[in-house]
Amino acid sequence: MAGHNARSTYWGHSANNGGTGIPEELRVHIERVATRAKNFGKRLGFEKSAELTGLLHDLGKYADQFQRRLRNPHIVPSRDHWSAGAIVACLIGQRKGLIPALAIEGHHTGLKQLKTTEDWTNSIARSLHDCPERFTESDINLLLERWRADGFMEPKKLDEHVPDYVHKAAGMLDTRMLFSCLVDADFLETEAHFEGDSQTPHKPRQDGPSLEPERALATLKAHIAQLAKSKGNGSNVHEMRQSLYSACLVTASGKMGVFNLSAPTGSGKTLSMLAFALRHAIQHRLSRIVLVMPFLSIIDQTAKTYRDLFSYEAGFRENYVLEDHSNAQTDEDSDQSLESGNGGQPRPEQGDDHQHDAARFRRLLSQNWDAPIILTTSVQCLESLMSNRPSACRKLHRLANSVVLFDEVQTLPPDLAVPTLATLARLSSRYRTSIVFATATQPAFDHLSPQVEALAGAAWKPREMWPDAPHHFATAAKRVRIDWRHRPPTSWEDLADEINSTPHRQVLCIVNLKRHAQKLTQLLSEKATGDALHLSTTMCLAHRAVVLEKVRQRLAADKRVKLVSTQCIEAGVDIDFPCVYRAVAPLESIAQAAGRCNRHGTRPAPGEVVVFTPMSQRERECLYPPGGYAAAANHTGVVLDNLCSELGENKNDRSILQDVEILQNPARLNTYFRGFYDLNNAAKIKDDLETALRELHFENVAREYRIIEQNAINVLVPYEPERALFEELKSEMRSTANRGPGWLRRWIQRARPLTVGLHHPRDDAPIWNHLEPVYFSPSARRDIDRADWHIAMPGLPYDLTLGLIIPEDTDLVC
């Protein structure tokens, strides 16, 4: 960047401090963003391209129209000030400039499509010619002249960073990573300006803590040693946990890459994974650990463990561990305008304000994952990796030079497996990121490697982290005995009688559908005393937490308890019954259910697991959730029948299976997954997503890639112990006129514990008569079936055992 001659002053931002401070020169903002983006890009191997995006991202702000808008924002309309810089980047770099151009073009509105350089340039040029009124200025030469007068020069060389049109997932991830560098730099520098005032015009936020893996690993080792001492070291479980822990440390000293951690339930894989990540970080000088889990309940447990380990009292900085998910505690909306902010760092000297400021600082750090250990959900992590939006993508550059741990990977939807694996394969091979897939039921994802390589240019060939896993799976298998009763079906009445009459005082029964859980709980309650409890997503989060705590107390006190649950209890919930009933389901789900039986191997006799098939009550009754779950459950039946045929002449003779280990046999599970992928075409990418990938269309990929289908509504329910909060939230939503983003976020966060999610009802469903729609914006369309949030009216009762009761719409609680 050159010096400055006499020139006009162009402004990049309006006055800070609520308009009472000072504006920011455009030249200064561009320099700051370019420098920060360059530093981010350096860690990814394209510092020159990242710097170019910063130099040109606001080129259109040199237009007279934009300068007038800064002075009169309510009169002068907003226009496109980004496309001009994108065009120049493409002209400067040709093919090397296309990815920087896409990043600049999308830094406010999102990434569009990875076209050829010629097609993209022609498309923008046509827009400039045909619709000049969309842009702050259509004369690119005029903008460049002013930009150069501010001391900037076009770079003479760019990184060898050209689009990969062949390997679609690789080309798209590369674009998102450069995009991430720019948008995070722009967010941070814009925030720093609006946090300032006339005395201190520029207040950049404090950086998050560094990992310090040596100290963290020493702390973890001491904790694991203390656990071993307190729980004794003579049991098979202790031997298994020590073996896994040692294997993780040994593997961590090797090369970076992609790893499988297949470990039985109760083996302590959460702490062993962390030990691997910290030792790996020491070995390869890595910056960050990201732990990805499918369910909020697991994150809550793990976050408490991690925070206790790496606390301020233990010598670690605040925010060493950060959570990023829908229930993470924040006090303002992450998309709130930077101009309304009031500080980017905690200010302890302000006394009562410290808690507010500290919470706000956590929120800011979680937006771009500026912390050494991040705990997040599969939805947040994977959908961000496939996103096109600035706010979601800004964190992605932090994944480089890191370890990403995925727990309970069997929950990944099969039709998303190939694009997910392809994106992660590129992340690992290109950006110095090690990936760990951990579960007790490892899917045969390596079977999909040819499809992955076609999308990523890199194979999916994970290394196994634990050579002794088969031995310990065999040992874990002795903790339970499986009674296979998948044929013939069992009626709900007979099942209720059996559960009530079993000699086991404590029984868990897991079924596939919410209406099945409600029905069985009612039958158990009718036939016995009040020891039947129910757990499903017809209950709000607050209600489920109370039930789980009650179950744990009864288990610990050896009191009677019969719990009926859907599969929401299977993965990662630390709960231990002597007897578990499981409706036929995908084989990995049955294995996860068995992990809730004699979980720690401390009971004097093996636990009992009974696998049954519920009897249909009417013709064509749905016995499984739709989609991939039903296909996998049906495939389980085929696998069991085939195994019976292999072992004997009568495939309906379930007794043949009693002495065959199926659930704790990684080889059998691998065969099951391979057959599922091959015979059911289960891993085929869904058509709309495949089309979007083929067309390299970022917006369409983001829309079609969904870990959880979005066809659902949220219902605020009157859970009686929290009735006061329900009434308060309902009143606020009806009466509050000024609903800024911060207010909305706080309302939603307070409402989530009292919320039940339902599949979107059909248009003529009677339930609409009992739902009051919530419109977050006064300008929102007032169609009741278009609202995402609703409040339960009195005609939709909430039962203190079963949760939300929907008598006329049983399909909604399938």
Q: How far apart are CA 587 and CA 594, in angstroms?
A: 11
Instruction: Please list, residue by residue across 604-638, b when 16 or more beta carbons sit within 10 angstroms of its beta carbon and e when fewer do.
Output: eebbbbbbbbbeeeeeeeebbbeebbbbbbbbbee
CA dihedral 754, 759, 763, 765 (to 10 degrees): -70
Lowest model confidence (mean pLDDT) among 396-400, 448-452, 748-752, 789-793:
748-752
For residues 433-458, average pLDDT: 95
Q: Specify the pLDDT at position 649.
A: 62
- pLDDT of 13 reads 94
CA 40 – CA 25 distance, rounded (Å) = 23
Where does residue 568 rank: exposed (0-12), middle (13-18), buried (19+ CB within 10 A)?
A: middle
pLDDT at 64: 95
Q: Are 181 and 50 in contact (CB under 8 A)?
A: yes
Are 258 and 460 in contact by the 8 Å Cβ rule? The answer is: yes
> Helix or strand or coil: residue 104?
helix
Rounded-to-integer distance, Cα 303 and Cα 322, Å: 8
- Residue 713 φ/ψ, nearest 5 degrees: -125, 155
Sign, Cα dihedral of 191, 194, 195, 201: positive
Closest CA to 473 of 259, 667, 247, 273: 667
Contact 699, 388 (CB under 8 A): yes
The 10s digit of each residue's pLDDT in 462-521 is 999 999 999 888 888 888 999 998 888 999 999 999 999 999 999 999 999 998 999 999
Q: Report which of 464, 418, 426, 425 is spatially closest to residue 442, judged by C-alpha positions.
A: 464
Q: Which pLDDT score, from 0 to 100, does residue 529 have?
A: 66
Q: Quote the Cα angle for 529-532-535, to 5°.
A: 165
pLDDT-derived band at 763 (thresholds 50, 70, 90) equals: confident
Say whether pLDDT at 627 is over 70: yes
56-60, 669-673, 775-779: which range is least confident on average?
Answer: 775-779
| pLDDT band at residue 333 using 50, 70 and 90 as cut-offs | very low
Q: Which whole-number Å values give the CA distances from 617 to 19, 492, 506, 538, 610, in the listed order?
A: 68, 9, 27, 21, 21
479: tokens are 């903790």
pLDDT averaged over the chain?
A: 87
As a whole number of angstroms, the distance between CA 450 and CA 415 comes to 15
> How does pLDDT run across 44-86, given as a tens digit for each residue?
999 999 999 999 999 999 999 999 999 998 899 999 999 999 9
Yes or no: say if 714 and 790 are a contact pair by the CB < 8 Å rule: yes
Q: CA-based Rg of the chain, rounded to a whole angstrom?
A: 28
Confidence at residue 7, expressed as pLDDT on a 0 to 100 scale:
67
CA distance 589 to 598: 17
Mean pLDDT computed over 200-227: 94
Write the pLDDT tens digit of every residue in 164-192: 999 999 999 999 999 999 999 999 999 99
- 3-class SS string, 733-746: HHHCCCCCHHHHHH
Q: Which residue has the higher pLDDT, 301 or 434?
A: 434
Count Cβ atoms below 10 Å from residue 199 Cβ, excluding itself.
8
3-state secondary structure of 431: coil
In terms of pLDDT, which residue wins out, 813 or 757? 757
Q: How far is the C-alpha of 167 from the C-alpha of 1, rounded, in Å?
A: 36
Is residue 114 a contact partner of residue 164, using CB atoms and an 8 Å limit?
no
Q: What percent of the chain has pLDDT over 70?
A: 89
Q: For residues 809 and 814, give the distance between their C-alpha atoms in angstroms, rounded to a whole number.
A: 9
Q: Cis peptide before 586, with omega less than 30 degrees from 0?
A: no
Number of H helices, E strands in the chain: 28, 21
C-alpha 240/C-alpha 175 separation (Å) is 43
pLDDT at 339: 28
The alpha carbon torsion through 282, 285, 287, 292 (nearest 10 deg) reads -60
Residue 783 has pLDDT above 60, yes or no: no
Pairwise CA distance, residues 495 & 473, whole Å: 30
Q: Which residue has the higher pLDDT, 203 or 337?
A: 203
How far is Cα 571 from Cα 591, in angstroms, rounded to an integer? 10
The pLDDT value given to residue 535: 95
pLDDT tens digits along 562-595: 999 999 888 767 889 999 999 999 999 999 999 8
Report the alpha-carbon distance of residue 634 to residue 618 in Å, rounded: 19
**Higher-scoring residue by pLDDT: 787, 185:** 185
Residue 207 tokens read as: 């950086």
pLDDT digits (tens, 9 = 90+) for 642-659: 888 887 766 566 677 877
Pairing of strands 712-716, 755-759: antiparallel
State the pLDDT at residue 786.
Answer: 65
User: Which pair of structure tokens corresponds to residue 491?
Assistant: 């009626």
Taking the C-alpha atoms of residue 436 and residue 262, their distance in angstroms, rounded to an integer, is: 10
Q: Mean pLDDT check: name the lowest of 240-249, 436-445, 613-622.
A: 613-622
pLDDT tens for residues 519-555? 999 999 987 766 899 999 999 999 999 999 999 999 9
Residue 338 has pLDDT above 80, yes or no: no
- What would the two tokens of residue 776 be? 């977050």
The predicted structure's pLDDT at residue 369: 94
Asked whether residue 252 carries a pLDDT value surpassing 60, the answer given is yes
The Cα-based distances of 244 to 226, 292, 619 in angstroms read 17, 20, 49
